[in-house]
Amino acid sequence: MTVLPTCDPPRPPPLAGVRVLDLSRLLPGPLCAQHLCELGATVIKIEDPGAGDYARPAMRQLVNRGKIGLTLNLKCDEGREIFFQLLANADVVLEGFRPGVMQRLGLDYAELSRRRPSLVYCAISGYGQSGARRHAAGHDINYLSRSGVLDMTGEAGGPPVIPGFLISDILGGTLSAATGILAALVEARQTGRGRFIDVSMTDAVMAHNVLPLAEYNESGSVHARGTGSHTGGAARYKTYAARDGRFLAVGAQEKKFWDLLCDALELPELKPLHSPDDAQAPDVERLLRRAFATRDAADWLSVLEPLDCCVTAVRSFEEALRDPDFRSRGTVRAPAADAAMSLGLPFVVSELAPSAPKASPRQGEHTDTVLGELGFGRDTIASLRSRGVI
């Protein structure tokens, strides 16, 4: 196991001193902002005084931990003036509205960067701020379908299968946004000039769809659904049912792993068929299915895991949560007392210990504190609340 170096006294987290105004809702933007928060940024989650962020409570708790909760009506002049005061010390503004909403509020990048030239402004949307579809509604399934990913997913000859993971939301709305924000922050610290980061969740999926593009560039076409080397068309990269109905995932892409697998399955005659031709492929797959069906999954794993030939159990999510490696690396954080389980950063940073799970703020929980720091008195805050500004 790699042991990361430690430091005494502890170093501050890498984003210490960075302030983020998070206007986003639901999943992609809030999770991006939470990653920034766990890297040390101060994140103020700004919601309207009405419905606020309409994510369900369990989701809200998972993607807003450690943030400061503020309610603010950005549709009124007083609310916008308070926002401008917050902007004076902000480094990042993150929003996930449809294109044009922030401009109608008078809070678009042109206006905010005029007031705060070093500002990094990130807008997450389904199709981006330009293009014919920029105002269209959509969800993960729509972004996957437009980028060609959904067409590749599923069994040969069958319908497209919806992935159980929101690829566009997480890859596009969360991780791509975080990458753009961090890159622009580095430049802003060096030059004093910010950037506008336009994140299209559809673009993000398309921009990472490397394997089919390589195939297209080589041959001028792409394998049909379920027939590509990574989509179910190769016996060496496929799932197989064991005798007890549990599935095993085989990823023996390299010849050395394939040879180890064939020996373990007592099918040495298949070693030369690592890349069978179209006529041989069905027979290779049939022999592997027959072999895996002779033992329970646990029996096969006891044989195959020591060989390190890229065979793993297809786990349920509940089983994955119990994985000791996820626990020890801080990816899964076990609850303390009556707290819910939570997930950590998608990477480990040296000298940054995983923090204890924090609560997500209630809607507007810290409004009085934030406004007090801006110099608003108790009576003024009460008046703002009575008039629906906060």
- 21, β-bridge pairs: 44, 93
By C-alpha distance, which of 234, 241, 239, 240 is closest to 255? 234
- Is-contact 132 138, C-beta < 8 A? no
By C-alpha distance, which of 142, 151, 148 is closest to 225? 151
As a three-state string, the secondary structure of the chain is CCCCCCCCCCCCCCCCCCEEEECCCCCHHHHHHHHHHHCCCEEEEEECCCCCCCCCHHHHHHHCCCCEEEECCCCCHHHHHHHHHHHCCCCEEEECCCCCHHHHCCCCHHHHHHHCCCCEEEEEECCCCCCCCCCCCCCHHHHHHHCCHHHHCCCCCCCCCCCCCCHHHHHHHHHHHHHHHHHHHHHHHHHCCCCEEEEEHHHHHHHCCHHHHHHHHHHCCCCCCCCCCCCCCCCCEEEEECCCCCEEEEECCCHHHHHHHHHHCCCHHHHHHCCCCCCCHHHHHHHHHHHHCCCCHHHHHHHHHHHCCCEEECCCHHHHHCCHHHHHCCCEECCCCCCCCEECCCCCCCCCCCCCCCCCCCCCCCHHHHHHHCCCCHHHHHHHHHCCCC
Position 3 scores a pLDDT of: 46
Position 354 scores a pLDDT of: 75
Position 1 scores a pLDDT of: 39
Position 355 scores a pLDDT of: 72
Do 19-208+344-386 and 237-314 show the same overall fold? no
Superfamily of domain 237-314: formyl-coa transferase, domain 3 (3.30.1540.10)
Position 30 scores a pLDDT of: 98
The C-alpha atoms of residue 47 and residue 26 are separated, in whole angstroms, by 12
Q: Residues 316-343: pLDDT tens digits?
A: 999 999 999 999 999 998 766 666 889 9
What phi-psi label fits residue 226: left (phi over 0), alpha (psi between -120 and 50 degrees) or beta? Answer: left
Q: Residues 231-251: pLDDT tens digits?
A: 999 999 999 999 999 999 999
Q: What confidence category does residue 4 fall into, taking pLDDT thresholds of 50, 70 and 90?
A: low
SS3 88: coil
Q: Residues 44-57: pLDDT tens digits?
A: 999 999 989 999 99
Query: Encoding tokens for residue 244?
Result: 């007890």
Q: Mention every residue, 6+ apart, whose C-beta is less than 8 A from residue 59.
A: 26, 27
Residue-range domain boundaries for the chain:
19-208+344-386, 237-314
Q: What confidence category does residue 372 fall into, taking pLDDT thresholds of 50, 70 and 90?
A: very high
Query: Encoding tokens for residue 330?
Result: 């801080």
Q: What is the pTM of this model?
A: 0.93
AA identity, residue 43: V
Q: Residues 9-44: pLDDT tens digits?
A: 689 999 999 999 999 999 999 999 999 999 999 999
The C-alpha atoms of residue 144 and residue 152 are separated, in whole angstroms, by 10
The C-alpha atoms of residue 118 and residue 50 are separated, in whole angstroms, by 31
Task: Give the rounded percent of residues in the chain with a pLDDT score beyond 90.
Answer: 91
Q: Residues 133-183: pLDDT tens digits?
A: 999 999 999 999 999 999 999 999 999 999 999 999 999 899 999 999 999
Average pLDDT, the chain: 94
- 46, β-bridge pairs: 70
**Residue 5 scores a pLDDT above 60:** no
The C-alpha atoms of residue 96 and residue 21 are separated, in whole angstroms, by 12
CATH 3.60.21.10 fits 19-208+344-386, yes or no: no
348: phi then psi, degrees, rounded to nearest 5: -110, 130
Position 298 scores a pLDDT of: 98
Task: Give the rounded percent of residues in the chain with a pLDDT score beyond 70.
Answer: 96
- Catalytic site positions: 139, 169
Query: Encoding tokens for residue 156?
Result: 């040969």
Average pLDDT of the segment spanning 208-230: 95
